[in-house]
Amino acid sequence: MVDIEQPKKKAAGVPAVLSSFKFGFREMGPARTGKVFLKMNQDGGFDCPSCAWPDPDSKRKHAAEFCENGAKAVAWEATRKRVPRAFFADHSIDQLNQISEYELGKLGRITEPMLLRAGSDHYEPVGWDEAFHVVARHLQALDNPDDAVFYTSGRTSNEAAFLYQLFVRAYGTNNLPDCSNMCHESSGTALSRVIGSGKGAVTLEMLEEAELIVVVGQNPGTNAPRMLSHLEIAKKHGADIVSVNPLPEPGLMNFKNPQRPSGWIGKGTALADQHLQIRIGGDQALFLAVGHLLLRAEAAAPGTVVDLDFIKQHTSGFELYAKHNDELDWPAVELATGLTRAEIEEFTQRFIKSKATVICWAMGLTQHREAVATITEIVNVLLLQGNIGKRGAGPCPVRGHSNVQGDRSMGIWEKMPEEFLDKLDAEFAFTSPRDHGIDATDTVRRLRDGSVRVFFAMGGNFAMATPDTAVVHQGLRECDLTVHVSTKLNRSHTVTGREALILPTLGRTDHDRTPNGPQSVTVEDSQGAVHLSTGNLLPPAPELKSEIGIVCGIAALVVPEVGEIPWADFAADYSLIRHRIGRVADGYENFEERLRATGGFLLDHAARDRREFKTSDAKAQFSANDLSWLPTEPGRLLLQTMRSHDQFNTTIYGLQDRYRGIDGTREVVFVNPDDLAELGLKDGQRVDIVSEFAGVERRAAGYRLVSFPTARGCVAAYYPETNVLMSADDVAKGSNTPVAKGLTVRFEPAT
Ligand SMILES: Nc1nc2c(c(=O)[nH]1)N[C@H]1C(S)=C(S)[C@@H](COP(=O)(O)OP(=O)(O)OC[C@H]3O[C@@H](n4cnc5c(=O)[nH]c(N)nc54)[C@H](O)[C@@H]3O)O[C@H]1N2
Ligand SMILES: Nc1nc2c(c(=O)[nH]1)N[C@H]1C(S)=C(S)[C@@H](COP(=O)(O)OP(=O)(O)OC[C@H]3O[C@@H](n4cnc5c(=O)[nH]c(N)nc54)[C@H](O)[C@@H]3O)O[C@H]1N2
Ligand SMILES: [Mo]
């Protein structure tokens, strides 16, 4: 049944708690639900596999430190349901492709390796040994290791990621694309260039001390719900909070804290003091204007607005930036942002008033053509007031997957710096390749050319998460072998190469015991804190292997002679892996010792901790960017593809987007009522969404129009269904991230 009602103005509270338990009981039953929810994010427990928002230290810890969506992610993994052998015997590949992503995910955990033999149209069970030999046979048959691609999704632990990249480099390629390429790559690219580290420079404690927090292009109520508790604390300390978003996301507009009884009843906290309902792609113009106004205010009252000491001592490029930003084309700024000058002036006053400002952002900024320039524009504004490397201040990109940041620290990157590769080679006595590999977008292009022979994925759902869905599927079908290491079924398993393997693995919640005893893994969160994660549930099947066990099993067959790498020892004792990580990965020095001593630690961050900037000139760099925005022709709109409240990326938990008032369907497109009227369309009508890029049209058929308070000219629909509208050639400049926000579209009557 499809039910569309008024969007909610409040997030979390009682409905959120009820929703977690309802989903928990459905998947796990009451006893397991209790066991799981009590161990989540607690000392000695497991790290929530959902988002990368940090766990509070003991000072800040609540009794039950989890959120509705974390609980769903856990219940989804810890489900008691299993995919039976008979299921694969009963369904051909064609039939599997008829089953929706949502239904595939609901089938339960996979428990044994499955092989699709060449010429067959059914997966069949296969032993681990044979499965590993199939992978080895294909990899050893390739003349060029670069014909294989090794994808990673950001749930993989530090230990597994480190061994995985070691195996891939020992095999001879840097083809290590990861989900980050489609996520925060623009943040990493921009921040590395201008402040010398791609990671955020704000800890939880710093966030709570901020006087102004700006949340740009992020929907924390759904995608990082625990962040709201910390915003609430900051607010209690007197912080101003501003949301910059084309949508009035309810988590920011009003929030009820499920961790506190007082949050269960009553009005909740209105978190945002100001909501700037920005036009899609208008953020660079907005921050350009804020910079301009700050400089003007400083000129009017010298020494009161800008931190000249900081600028002089720690930055470069200020003069050029100030000159470049002296004049501003206000009409263009108003068109670009859809905001009035008065709104931008009010926003700027908040910066002037604040002595410590944090700017947080996520996909609403990074998945744009001008994402890199936009993020440097945000850094400009922070640098003007010395808002980095001091209490309560700094840039705070909020990462997505729970260990996406750790995976990068471990070497999952197609262009890992020489310094890391040199240390890796010295540690394991081999020579890793130095030619850069390909990222996720280039992998799509290589698939399009039909030049990938083996596609290997450590988790994720590459077939759905990427742009140009049909092209990706065709390319995957042309591979000799596709391999997926996964916990549950998804579309990437049913769009197969000539041969295909599904290798089931342990998840974060599963107890991991090797012949050497129980094992733990580690993760690094969004703010650079590293800690242990220990699963406590009986695994879905006794023969299930960990990701580490799988990598070691394959590597021992494929690269037994390369270097001195004790694969079997690593598979038995994960502390041995941490010892090696401690000698290779930046910031992880004496890893195992520090971990044992403290249970977890915060990684060093030169800019945050010492105002030391590891850039080309050892200064934090101002950037002079020209105003960029996304003009549209009449009849055209800007589309953003986003997450509902009931999904984790390509995993669909349910068909309810509670805060936005949608139930029973995902094929909706949110449109401003004035745009509907102007286009002569009505709420409830069905249309095709047609995207236009570089003269090519792409179509998503049969979407229901929903009249919604989104910014004028801006429409929104759910990812991943709308990835058919994206092009692998439409990418962010400098970071190669596919453009998932700000696509030019028009509506046509439904076909
Ligand atoms: N429950 C749950 N949690 C998740 C995930 C999930 O799918 N489900 N995914 C995880 C991952 S991998 C990631 S990367 C994060 C993603 O977290 P988010 O970035 O919050 O995810 P999106 O749904 O893509 O939301 C984009 C937000 O940016 C806004 N926006 C779109 N275009 C623009 C623009 O041009 N300017 C501005 N200022 N805003 C814009 C949208 O209205 C929306 O609020 O969440 C992580 N956590
Ligand atoms: N249009 C559009 N496209 C986007 C985005 C967008 O906003 N709009 N967002 C982009 C972003 S930010 C991201 S991060 C990517 C996400 O891209 P991916 O990371 O590739 O996709 P996920 O849906 O997170 O992957 C889910 C699958 O991971 C597997 N899995 C879950 N847990 C584990 C585990 O512990 N181990 C292993 N081995 N497997 C596991 C399960 O089989 C599950 O089906 O999508 C990108 N694509
Ligand atoms: Mo992400």
pLDDT tens per residue across span 529-539: 999 999 999 99
**Model pLDDT for residues 14-23, shown as the tens digit of each residue:** 677 777 777 7
Atom of ligand 2 nearest to the CA of 484: 38
What Cα–Cα distance (Å) separates residue 337 from each residue in 322, 332, 713? Answer: 21, 8, 11
Q: Whose CA is nearest to atom 31 of ligand 1?
A: 364
Residue 38 clears pLDDT 90, i.e. is over it = no
Rounded-to-integer distance, Cα 595 and Cα 22, Å: 36
pLDDT score of 258 more than 80:
no
Distances from the Cα of 594 to the Cα of 203, 591, 635, 645, 663, angstroms: 19, 5, 59, 38, 48
Q: Does 535 contact ligand 2 (Cβ within 6 A)? A: no
259 lines ligand 2 (CB under 6 A): no
Query: Which of 164, 407, 486, 652 most suits a substitution to test ligand 2, by most atoms within 8 Å of the C-beta?
Result: 486
For residue 484, give Cα distances in angstroms to 114, 226, 550: 10, 31, 11
Task: Tell me the pLDDT band of 580, cut-offs 50, 70 and 90.
Answer: very high
**For residue 484, pLDDT beyond 80:** yes
Check whether 693 has a pLDDT greater than 60: yes
pLDDT for the residue 2: 63
* Strand 499-504 to 114-116 pairing: antiparallel
For ligand 2, atom 18, the nearest C-alpha belongs to: 460
Cα→Cα distances 531→78, 227, 352, 523, Å: 21, 18, 37, 6
Q: From the CB of 378, is ligand 1 less than 6 Å away?
A: no
Q: What is the number of the ligand 1 atom nearest to the C-alpha of 367?
A: 32
Please report the pLDDT score of residue 274 as a whole number: 94
**Helical spans, DSSP H, in 79-219:** 85-90, 93-98, 101-106, 128-141, 158-171, 185-195, 204-208
Which residue among 462, 503, 509, 650 is best mutated to probe the pocket of ligand 2, counting the most ligand atoms within 8 A of its Cβ?
650
Give the CA distances from residue 577 to residues 174, 420, 519, 563, 740, in Å, rounded to whole numbers and listed in that order.
21, 16, 12, 16, 37
Residue 353 region by backbone torsions, left for phi larger than 0, else alpha for psi between -120 and 50, else beta: alpha
pLDDT at residue 450 greater than cutoff 60? yes
Is the pLDDT assigned to residue 520 strictly greater than 60?
Answer: yes
Decide if pLDDT at 328 tops 90: yes
What is the model's pLDDT at position 263? 43
Tens-place pLDDT, residues 621-632: 999 999 999 999
pLDDT at 64 over 60: no
Cis omega (within 30 of 0) for bond into 539: no
Kindly state if the Cβ of 440 falls inside 6 Å of ligand 2.
no
Gap between the Cα atoms of 288 and 294, Å rounded: 10
Any ligand 2 atom below 6 A from CB of 487 = yes
Confidence band of 266 (pLDDT split at 50, 70, 90): very low
The mean pLDDT value for 133-141 works out to 98
- Cβ of 490 closer than 6 Å to ligand 2, yes or no, is yes
pLDDT level of residue 10 (50, 70, 90 thresholds): low
187-207 CB burial, b ≥16 within 10 A, e <16: bbbbbebbbbbbbbbbbbbbb
Ligand 1 close to Cβ of residue 51 (< 6 A)? yes
| H or E element at residue 449 | helix 440-449
The total number of residues written for the chain in this structure: 751
Query: How far is it, in rounded angstroms, from Cα 94 to Cα 55?
Result: 43
The packing angle between helices 418-428 and 574-584, to 10°, is 130
- pLDDT tens-place string over residues 556-574: 999 999 999 999 999 999 9
Beta strands in 44-130 (DSSP E): 114-116, 123-125
How far does residue 134's CA lie from ligand 2's centre (Å)?
25
Ligand nearest to the CA of residue 253, numbered in listed order: 1
- The response to whether residue 49 sits with its C-beta less than 6 Å from ligand 1 reads no
Question: What pLDDT is attached to residue 271?
Answer: 87
For atom 22 of ligand 1, which residue has the closest CA? Answer: 642
Ligand number nearest CA of 363 is: 1
Q: Given a cut of 70, is residue 267 above it in pLDDT?
A: no
Ligand 2, atom 26: nearest CA belongs to which residue?
460
Mean pLDDT taken over the chain: 93
pLDDT at 61: 53
Taking Cα atoms as reference points, which of 649, 703, 689 lies closest to residue 101? 649
Average the pLDDT over 225-240 and give the result: 92
Q: What are phi and psi of 603, to 5 degrees?
A: -70, 150
Confidence of residue 58 (pLDDT cuts 50, 70, 90): low
Residues sharing a CB contact under 8 Å with residue 101, sequence separation 6 or more, in sequence order: 464, 490, 491, 650, 651, 652, 720
Output the pLDDT for position 529. Answer: 94
Token digits of residue 427: 């540690």
Q: Locate the ligand 2 atom nearest the alpha carbon of residue 642 and give its number.
A: 7
Tell me the mean pLDDT in the region 397-413: 96
Question: Is the beta carbon of 507 within 6 A of some atom in ligand 2?
Answer: yes
Q: How far apart are CA 163 and CA 565, in angstroms?
A: 10
- Distance (angstroms) between ligand 1 centre and the Cα of 2 equals 24
Angle CA 642–183–694, to nearest 5: 75
pLDDT in tens, 710-732: 999 999 999 999 999 999 999 99
Whole-structure pTM value: 0.95
Task: Band the pLDDT of 164: cuts 50, 70, 90.
Answer: very high
Task: Find out whether the beta carbon of 723 lies less than 6 Å from any atom of ligand 1.
Answer: no
**Domains within the chain, CATH numbers bracketed:** 3-77 (no CATH), 83-179+406-598 (3.40.50.740), 185-398 (3.40.228.10), 637-749 (2.40.40.20)
In this structure, the number of other CB atoms found within 10 A of the CB of residue 695 comes to 5
Both tokens of 118, joined, read 């060449």
Confidence grade of residue 255 (pLDDT, cut at 50, 70, 90): low
**pLDDT at 261 exceeding the cut of 50:** no
Quote the CA–CA distance of 234 and 212 in Å, as a whole number: 9
Q: Over the stretch 165-201, which tens digit does the pLDDT of each residue have?
A: 999 999 999 999 999 999 999 999 999 999 999 999 9
Does 60 score more than 50 pLDDT? no
The closest residue, in CA terms, to atom 21 on ligand 2 is 460
368 lines ligand 2 (CB under 6 A): no
What is the sign of the dihedral through the CA atoms of 166, 167, 172 and 174?
negative
**Contact yes or no for 319/311 (Cβ under 8 A):** no
Q: Which alpha helices (DSSP H) does 629-708 contain, by range?
A: 673-679
Q: How many CB atoms lie within 10 A of CB 626?
A: 9
CB distance 363 to 740 below 8 Å: yes
Would the pLDDT of 59 be above 60?
no
What distance in Å separates the CA atoms of residue 483 and residue 439, rounded to the nearest whole number?
Answer: 18
What does the block give as tokens for 519? Answer: 């094992």
Parallel, antiparallel, or unpaired: how do β-strands 517-519 and 521-524 relate? unpaired
Residue 8, pLDDT > 60, answer yes
Q: Which atom of ligand 1 is closest in space to residue 399's alpha carbon?
A: 14
Which ligand 1 atom sits closest to the C-alpha of 280?
35
Distance 574 CA to ligand 1 centre (A): 34
**Which segments of 204-356 are extended strands (E)?**
212-216, 240-244, 255-256, 274-276, 315-316
Nearest CA residue ID for atom 37, ligand 1: 217
Distance (angstroms) between ligand 2 centre and the Cα of 350 equals: 37
182 touches ligand 2 (CB under 6 Å): yes
Ligand number, closest to the Cα atom of 224: 1
Q: What is the rounded CA–CA span in Å between residue 705 and residue 687?
A: 7
- Measured CA to CA, the distance from residue 134 to residue 154 in angstroms comes to 26
SS3 content of the chain, % helix, strand, coil (to 5): 40, 20, 40
Atom 39, ligand 1: residue with shortest CA distance: 217
Instruction: Please report the atom of ligand 1 found closest to the CA of residue 222.
Output: 1
- Is 211 within 8 Å of 426 (Cβ atoms)? no
Q: Tell which one of 51, 374, 669, 670 to mutate to probe ligand 1, the residue whose CB is within 8 A of the most ligand atoms.
A: 51
* Per-residue pLDDT at 496: 98
Pocket test for ligand 1, best of 101, 153, 218, 638 (most atoms within 8 A of CB): 218
Atom of ligand 2 nearest to the CA of 651: 23
Closest ligand 1 atom to 710 CA: 42
